Amino acid sequence: MFLGIDLGTSEAKVLLLDGQHRIVATASEPLAISRPRPGWSEQDPADWWSATDRAVRKLAATQPLGAVQAIGLAGQMHGAVLLDAADAVLRRAILWNDGRSQAECAEMEAALPRLRAIAGNMAMPGFTAPKLWWLRRNEPAVFDRVATVLLPKDWLRLRLTGERISDLSDASGTLWLDVGARRWSTELLAASGLGLQHMPALVEGSARAGTLRAEVAQAWGLRAGIPVAGGGGDNAASAVGVGAVRAGQGFLSLGTSGVIFLAQERYEPRPDSAVHTYCHALPGLWHQMGVMLSAGSALRWACRLLGSTEAELLERVAALDEAALASAPLFLPYLDGERTPHNDADARGVLFGLTGSHDAASVTYAVIEGVAFGLRDGWQAMGAPGVEALSLVGGGARSALWARLLASALDVKLQTCEGAEAGGALGAARLAWLAAGGDAGEVCRPSAVRGRFEPDPAVQARLGPRHARFRTLYPALKDAFRPPAIH
């Protein structure tokens, strides 16, 4: 047995995988996000541990965990967990979808002409380094006490093993990693007022990265001393989970955020297009991503707004006729800003073209179509490479209606696979398997295909003019998104 732990933004999920690739059991616990100011997003690391502990205990109540041979970690990327010299948390973690450091990103780009060449990415507020630039300016007393900066899943590792270690895929999202060389960049660290002494050690995601402490093992019914794998950022781990570990293999993720992921054998960054280029969770591989900040979270927002469930709203969308779909409003899905291709933390969501005849179904359709259009823009920023198919993963993979719409919007075949909803937790369990000595060819095999979705020419004929109109809205509104100056 292998235990995967995925520390998401909205929940902590745990998964038990056996040696025949069967998902034996899963459990999860919800997480809340604190938004102390507009555009800010924070969580207390203590809540991560509490939710993970509850989820593992829930799992242990139904499945004995004594046979677990290793643990793997996956999680939300970019979050800044700040520790003092005694490993005490100094403040709530600033998360990946926090937009406060837009000005600091511009300063980084101006101060570091080699930033994009080294890090493989442009500076965006979601990344970790701009958060520390912001902290140094706005909370200097906290900054001066920082002894270690950890990413969210790596703070869990510290609790599990006592070790300060990160993996290369997660570290790629800090803007402190030399992504091509797969090592920390002293040049980028120094610009943030930090050094190697502030950073965790680095390993590949499939390598051992500490062993389980006795007190944690006893509390969870595990064996002390079992290895904890390096693990991966949520998307790299999800790729391992669906077997996207060779050049040209990839997936589309509909989680809180939306991601199009493509594995590569070479380091080939595209930072000027706001495309992310990271190390993969396996040695000798990289990957590119087009990332939008609000995907599944946009549909959840619609549910709260309309007072209904996802299933109820999507059922109503399925009943809309062609005329209603063609005349639905347009939705800009930038509820928390946007990354690819706009890199704009100030961008906001917009419902455009509302009339008195539009109802909840029309608005819901606009939301899922707007997410599809945002992903299409990201895919085009990646060069829309020719691929045979992309796997569809994350919570949004449960909706066949949304899957068909996405296949047509991207003009790419999509397929759902066994374990697709498990996301990073399955990949984390597979990385644990590798850390325990598993063979990569056997462990990382593609998951069994459960469903296939082909582009529909009729749907594409409707989407074409709507996407063209969608593309005019952000440039027209860009300046209006800027917050007014405070005098």
Would you report the helix, strand and coil content of the chain in percent, each value rounded to 5?
Answer: 40, 20, 40
| Tokens, residue 63 | 């499945």
User: Measured between alpha carbons, how far is residue 357 from residues 63, 329, 418 in Å?
Assistant: 52, 11, 40
Q: Helix axis angle, 128-138 relative to 102-111, nearest 10°?
A: 100
Query: Nearest-CA neighbor of 209 among 429, 16, 432?
Result: 432
DSSP line for 164-232: -EEEHHHHGGGT-EETTTTEE-HHHHHHTT--GGGSPEEE-TTSEEEE--HHHHHHHT--TT-EEE--E
Q: Please name the residue that has the structure tokens 């920390």.
A: 184
Q: Cα 282 to chain center, whole Å?
A: 17
For residue 78, say whether it is annotated as part of any ligand binding site.
yes
Identify whether 455 is preceded by a cis peptide bond (ω within 30 of 0). Answer: no
Catalytically annotated residues: 234
Q: Which uninterrupted H or E stretch holds 397?
A: none
Sign of CA dihedral 158, 162, 164, 165: negative
In angstroms, the CA 392 to CA 414 distance is 6
DSSP line for 294-315: -SHHHHHHHHHHHT--HHHHHH
Please report the beta strands in 423-483, taking only residues with DSSP state E, as ranges in sequence order: 449-453
Query: Nearest-CA neighbor of 5 among 63, 57, 75, 73?
Result: 73
Q: Which uninterrupted H or E stretch holds 348?
A: none
User: In this structure, are strands 232-233 and 70-75 parallel, antiparallel, or unpaired?
Assistant: parallel
Binding residues: 77-78
Binding residues for substrate: 77-78
